[in-house]
Amino acid sequence: MSEAILEISDLCTSFGNAVIHDHISLEIMRGEVFAIAGSSGCGKSTLLREIMLLQKPVSGSIRVFGREVLGLGDMEALDFRKGCGMMFERGALFSSLNVLENVGLPLQEHTALSEELIEEIASIKIALAGLPASAKFKYPDELSGGMRKRAALARALALDPELLFLDEPTAGLDPLSANGFDELVLHLKRSLDLTMVIVTHDLDLLWHVADRVAFLGDGHVLGMGTMMELSESSHPLIREYFYGPRGRAAREQAWKQK
């Protein structure tokens, strides 16, 4: 993990008088699972939307694969997004399409592949996301929360991205489903050699999956490193986050599994 695939420098974001990001900088290395953590409202999901060019910061630089992406025109931004996969917190599946159609939609819109090949590729992505073949023809409202998350992940993988963004992937899941998603992320990392950026509150996910974590707060990156390094930080906001009852339980469980 020696090559920086994503570089954020001096990024500033504000909504009116509220400062969200105050000159934040970080690097994400090729092949790592990089998590962004912090309390609600600290700008985690906003940062993800800015990287994907769905929202504009006030100033700063975002370089992906060595290329500055802020300021790209509409067509260039579209080409950039094709190389990235995005799983939104609520899935953002189209309710009128079944799982196979949802997953195949990016292929229909951005490739000239035949319907038969699109269906074959979509079926492979669905299986890769850990869904049974029987789920292909179900509609989003017929799926459990965990299955909807996996369907959204399959769609994010449709165009074989090098960079995958996951926004709160385990939010709303029961502990068993969340644990299954943790294992899926690790499997995808090993099998596809993906670089992943995960926004999450899930302390178990942070301990079990993340290679490094950036902790945001008060508009800044308050700490960055492995979970062990962050858990030993003296910063009061980080200690409060990691040493509450849930934080201690997640750390103890992670140690038991090592």
User: For the segment 213-229, what is each residue's pLDDT rounded down to a tens digit?
Assistant: 999 999 999 999 999 99
Range of weakest confidence among 49-63, 80-94, 193-207:
80-94
Residue 111 CA to residue 100 CA, distance in Å, equals: 16
pLDDT for 13: 95
Total number of domains constituting the chain: 1
Query: What's the pLDDT score for residue 185?
Result: 87
The answer to whether residue 148 is domain-embedded is yes
Q: What is the mean pLDDT of residues 82-92?
A: 83
Classify residue 212: in a domain, yes or no.
Answer: no
* Bridge partner list, 19: 14
Q: Is residue 132 part of a domain?
A: yes
pLDDT band for position 176 (cuts 50, 70, 90): confident
Average pLDDT over residues 200-205: 90
Confidence of residue 249 (pLDDT cuts 50, 70, 90): low
Domain around 156: 89-160
Mean pLDDT of the chain: 88
Region label for 78, one of left (φ > 0), alpha (ψ between -120 and 50) or beta (otherwise): alpha
> How far apart (Å, rounded) are the C-alpha atoms in residues 107 and 155?
9
Q: How confident is the model at residue 24 (pLDDT cuts 50, 70, 90)?
A: very high
143 lies in some domain: yes
214 part of a folded domain: no
Does any domain span residue 35? Answer: no
- Residue 119 maps to a domain: yes
Condensed to tens digits (0 to 9), the pLDDT of residues 107-162 reads 998 989 999 999 999 999 999 998 999 999 999 999 988 889 899 999 999 999 98
Q: What is the token pair recorded at 78?
A: 């579209």
- 126 located within any domain: yes
Report pLDDT digits (tens) over 43-55. Answer: 898 999 999 998 8
